[in-house]
């Protein structure tokens, strides 16, 4: 027998734990924004410092990721159906994994093979 909680109980605690961590990140981000506001408005007025940029980045990432975790919880790991044209495997043969390209007869030939360089000017064959 395995030590600890049963698997079902552990699974049921993941969603509230993710949402709670989202709340904590959100609170931390808001506190960082308040601290940044105090830092920026301290007299004398000054150019932004590297520390202020760092606090702003932490505040932004904290509030965004906290909000996402709070709203979605465990559903951030849900698989979604992608449209065919957006898939990375678009144009791949599922059995072999090789690219399925249209035949050469359907593909237009590049126009460059009918051009030649003549005295530093590009002219069409037979134009002269």
Q: Provide DSSP, 51-106.
A: HHHHHHHHHHHHHHHHHHHHHHGGGGG---PPPGGGSTTTTB-TTT--B-PPPTTT
Per-residue pLDDT of the chain (128 residues; tens, 9 = 90+): 445 445 566 778 899 999 999 999 999 999 999 999 999 888 888 888 999 999 999 999 999 999 999 999 999 988 888 777 766 655 555 565 555 555 544 455 555 545 555 555 555 555 54
- The backbone torsions φ and ψ at residue 99, rounded to the nearest 5 degrees and listed phi first, read -70, 135
Domain ranges of the chain: 8-75
Q: Which residues contact 123 (CB under 8 A, 6 or more apart)?
A: 115, 116
Q: Taking phi first (over 0 means left), then psi (-120 to 50 degrees means alpha), and beta for anything else, what does residue 126 get? A: left
């Amino acid at each position: 027998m395995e030590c600890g909680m049963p698997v079902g109980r552990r699974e049921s605690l993941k969603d509230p734990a993710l949402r709670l961590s989202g709340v904590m990140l959100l609170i931390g981000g808001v506190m960082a924004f308040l601290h940044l506001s105090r830092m920026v408005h301290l007299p004398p007025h000054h150019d932004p410092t590297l520390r202020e940029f760092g606090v702003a980045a932490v505040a932004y990432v904290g509030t965004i990721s906290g909000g996402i975790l709070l709203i979605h919880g465990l559903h951030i790991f849900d698989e979604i159906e992608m449209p065919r044209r957006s898939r990375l495997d678009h144009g791949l043969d599922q059995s072999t994994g090789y690219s399925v390209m249209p035949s050469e007869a359907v593909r237009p030939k590049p126009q460059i093979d009918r051009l030649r360089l003549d005295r530093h000017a590009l002219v069409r064959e037979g134009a002269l």
